[in-house]
Structure 1
Amino acid sequence: MDYSISTHCLHSTPLDAALETLAPHTGHVEIMDDGPHFLTDAALLLSYSYKYSIHAPSRGVNLASVLEPIRRAAVEVIHDTLSIAAEVDAPVVIHPGYIAWEYERELAGKNLRASLAQIRSDAAEFGVTYFIENMGNWGYFYLQTPADIELLDGALFCLDVGHANECGTLKEFLEVPFSHVHLHDNDGKHDSHSAIGEGNIDFDKVMTKVRENNVSHPVIEVETLEGALQSLNVLREGGYS
């Protein structure tokens, strides 16, 4: 099993320097396409021999917004990400959005489905695979529990094990078929993106499900480079390679 490392661990570093730093450790990288690593074109990525996945912009994007101009703009951001991903043959990870007020949940869910329908069409046009990721315990985000899976209307699922652990739903989410995975640890209370082995997640159970779901390049999405490399060693030494 080959592991990917997310540029999340070097997100304060310019992307070109981050890619140089990761080169000795992995041939697979997930670009945290936000902030300093926001992509406007594929030129830099094409200058390396990595196999990529791309985590679409998320901090300022809300696919479930009840404000139609904002929802349409969010879909446009994802469209641009899919366009770049097509150039480097990369799948894309997408956050499902959130509601501002609990009484807007039904409308926001309807809008999320509308956004995902457009994304489905755009992804087919570009020939890009995409996954929708479960969220941590952050206010009114969707996909904190498997009950929201139905909102995805059949879209492929990315399991973030740290988010699920923070929400107390990891056991339930491990029973949901997933096609992509983010690996990091925490204490079940905070989304710390800690190195594997520094929290309370049972990675024997997690990696058994990763294998059952035939996820070929699990993504190590840890806060620091030291923690990412520590996690890589733990996974390899634990017989998960």
Structure 2
Amino acid sequence: MTDLPLLGMALPTAALEDFRDFILAEDRDVELQDFFDADLLNGDWKSVADQARHILSGYQGRLGIHGPFWGLNIANPDPDMQAVITRKYLQGLEVCDYLGATQMVIHSPYTTWDFNNLDNFSDRSAYDWVIENCHKIMAPVVARAEDIGVTMVVENIEDKDPDIRRILADSFDSPAMAVSVDTGHAHYAHGATGAPPVDYFIRRAGERLQHVHLQDADGYADRHWAIGEGNILWHGVFRALAELKSSPRLILELRDKGRIMRSVEWLAAAGLAR
């Protein structure tokens, strides 16, 4: 059983104490969920970070945060908005630097509309325009992330094309940009928009995959249910993960934190993870 992949979890600092012993026993990956909140980032975020560091005293695992995302499309074409978005992501990296976190989750700019319309032109100018806007916003963020040893992982949100985030990440030619797959978002896209199934998203990310949000869903909405409560085909997902050498962080991101241990037990009983 010890050769099974190790599960981590996404938690707000207020819930860390409940899982502290379980986390520290094997230095499980942790993703802190507090620091996407704009009010916190503009306020006393250091007190929350200090609390997290205190609870995780002695922790030697891989620590990450979910970066800001509300209203912050990293392909926004408005120069005024671009400056604001750059500043917000730099705030997220300031938190990472303070905490010693080495990963920050950011959201994909691509929508379902993009999938159906970016080819609705005579050349690839629409694709290039999105990437150019992303570079205008994220170039200084990527440079700062390189300086402090943080990798930003681009999470699928509405993405129907499983390749498009990898292409975006590769365009920066930087170790500070990689790919995340959220299993529930991929399953929503599969069920609601005709995207490929979740295991295809894993395979198409390939060795650029450094982060996975594990949540179960029904293919209709972004449920964040406990593993086993939806209809994602988990054996196929973990077969795809087993093909990788990139050791992505496997983060249980559940709406109900009280169901985290149930999810760990379900995956362990299935012989998929521990």
Q: Which residue of 2 aligns with 1:144?
A: 160
Residues 172 and 211 of structure 1, relative CA distance in 2, 3 Å threshold? closer
Tell me, which stretches of 5 or more residues in structure 1 are unaligned?
Answer: 8-14, 137-142
Is contact 1:65-1:98 (8 Å) kept? no
Normalized per residue, which structure has more helix? 2
- 1:6 aligns to 2:10 (yes or no): yes
Q: Distance in 2 between matches of 1:110 and 1:227?
A: 41
Counterpart of 1:11 in structure 2 is: none
Q: In the alignment, residue 222 of structure 2 is paired with which amino acid?
A: D
Letter in 1 for 2:30: V
Counterpart code for 2:22: H
CA deviation map 1:101-147 (0-9, x unaligned): 868955444212332333221111222122111113xxxxxx43224
Q: Gaps (5+ residues) in structure 2?
A: 119-125, 191-195
2:154 aligned residue: 132
| Partner of residue 220 from structure 2, selected from 189, 201, 204 | 189
- Cα distance, 1:197 vs. partner? 0.8
Contact residue 156 and residue 186 of structure 2 kept, 8 A: yes
Aligned to 1:56: 67
Q: TM-score, normalised by structure 2?
A: 0.73
Q: What TM-score results when the alignment is normalised by the length of structure 1?
A: 0.83
1:219 aligns with 2:251: yes
Q: Looking at CA atoms only, which structure, 1 or 2, has the larger radius of gyration?
A: 2
> Would the alpha carbon gap of residues 19 and 164 (structure 1) be closer, same or farther in structure 2, given more than 3 Å must change?
same
Identity of aligned residues (%): 26
Shift of 1:86: 2.2
Residues 1-241 of structure 1 aligned to structure 2 (within 5 Å): 1-7=5-11, 15-27=12-24, 28-32=29-33, 33-35=35-37, 38=40, 40-41=45-46, 42-49=49-56, 50=59, 51=61, 52-90=63-101, 91-97=103-109, 106=127, 107-136=129-158, 143-148=159-164, 149-152=166-169, 153=171, 154=173, 155-168=177-190, 169=196, 170-176=198-204, 177=206, 178-214=209-245, 215=247, 217-239=249-271, 240-241=273-274
CA contact (8 A) 2:65 2:105 kept: yes
CA contact (8 A) 2:82 2:136 kept: no
